[in-house]
Structure 1
Amino acid sequence: MGRYNVENEYVEIQLERLFKVEPELVYQAWTDQRFLKQWFMTTERTNKSIDVNAEQNGSYEIVDVRKGKENVVRGSYVTLDTNAYIVMTIGMPELSDSEDTIEIEIFEREPGITQMIFSYTAYIPRERRLTSLEYKQKKKEYHDSTAHGFEMLFDKLQTTLEEHEEEA
């Protein structure tokens, strides 16, 4: 009976952020090439190219160069509900054939304050050589480092949105 008791092979991360901007601007930050280039998996300084087709089943590709190494990030927009909800995939072809899922809920908490609920789901294959404890530890390390990485990305997103508001 025990052999059918398979552990969940997914890691799920949920983060929430408040931004002092309108929901439209947070939505744009996830779908507009000019915004994405400033914060999402790249920076204006390290970006080699960015191609975004932000429509239902549209795709995106970001090529970022750091320390001479080219990193490619690509995915697709699965669901787009303007200014409210986005489901997209994200993958790094040189690291893995699989794509992870990002879900973003955007809503106005109060005038001028937008809440973003970010959910990330990643498939973590279980290697046969790992014990259950080692596998759980591997998933925990992946969860913690990935959550930390997204928190840092969202700090950059916050700065990008604040700079946009100052220019407006």
Structure 2
Amino acid sequence: MGKYNVENENVEIRLERLFKVEPELLYQAWTDQRFLKQWFMTTERTNKTIEVAAEQNGTYKIVDVRKGKENVVQGTFASLLPYEYIVMTIGMPELSDSEDTIEVEIFEREPGITQMVFNYTAFVPRERRLTSLEYKQKKKEYHDSTAHGFEMLFDKLQLTLEEFEADL
């Protein structure tokens, strides 16, 4: 379960998950467009385009179409340490000018079992009209819904990795 931080204007989410794959495959799932297209903010069915340059300061851009509406998700790979660590930004330009930060740590727990520690930091602006209590509630709601969304994404990631392993 993620915990929420309400002391500042950022919402921080930390999730951990175990996968029955080697660290190299989990890292590839975060950096290879063939994998990303299947689980990260899109699906093979709804993906219109995906461009990924998984290198230091490289960028990615995903265009997903659902119910006739185009959704763009884009960001930059700020730090890449193959098979161990990824820092990337994520933004949705039609919703906000700001970008959030994703940090992924990958550890081999034992052969064939890899742990992923996922940290997400998002800026949640405080509207003047909100009291401190209302703002804390807004941040908690944002935290809970975003954490739930990432948990669902990671369920899809798990299925994607299982299907890949089954096809070997």
Could you say which TM-score interval applies, normalised by the shorter chain?
A: over 0.9
Letter in 2 for 1:139: K
**How do 1:107-122 and structure 2 match up within 5 A?**
107-122=107-122
1:100-130: per-residue Cα shift (whole Å, max 9, x none)?
A: 0000000100110000000000000111000
Rg larger in 1 or in 2? 1
- 2:147 alignment partner in structure 1: 147
Give the match's secondary structure for 2:93.
coil
- Paired position in structure 1 for 2:163: 163
Q: TM-score, with normalisation over the residues of structure 1?
A: 0.96
Partner of 1:23: 23
Provide the residue aligned with 1:93 in structure 2: 93
- Map 1:33-72; keep pairs closer than 5 Å: 33-72=33-72
Residue in 1 that maps onto 2:124: 124
Q: What are the superposed Cα offsets for residues 126-160 of structure 1, whole Å, 9 maximum, x if unpaired?
A: 11000000000000000000000000000000000
- SS of residue matched to 1:75: strand
Amino acid at match of 1:101: T
Does residue 73 (structure 1) correspond to residue 73 (structure 2)? The answer is: yes
Structure 1 residue 98: deviation in Å? 0.1
* Structure 2 residues not aligned, in runs of 5+: 1-6
| Cα distance in 1 for residues equivalent to 2:162 and 2:107 | 18
Q: Distance in 2 between matches of 1:50 and 1:147?
A: 24
Question: Identity over aligned residues, as a percent?
Answer: 83
Query: Shift of the alpha carbon at 1:50?
Result: 0.1
Distance 2:160 2:16 in 1: 17
**Which amino acid in structure 1 is aligned with residue 95 of structure 2?**
L
Cα shift readout 1:7-40 (whole Å, capped 9, x = no counterpart): 5000000000000000000000000000000000
Q: Distance in 2 between matches of 1:67 and 1:133?
A: 36
TM-score (norm: length of structure 2) = 0.96
Which whole-Å deviations, capped at 9, do the CAs of 1:23-72 have from their partners, x for residues lacking one? 00000000000000000000000000000000000000000000111000
Q: Letter of the aligned partner of 2:51 in structure 1?
A: D
Aligned residue in 2 for 1:82: 82
Number of aligned residues: 162
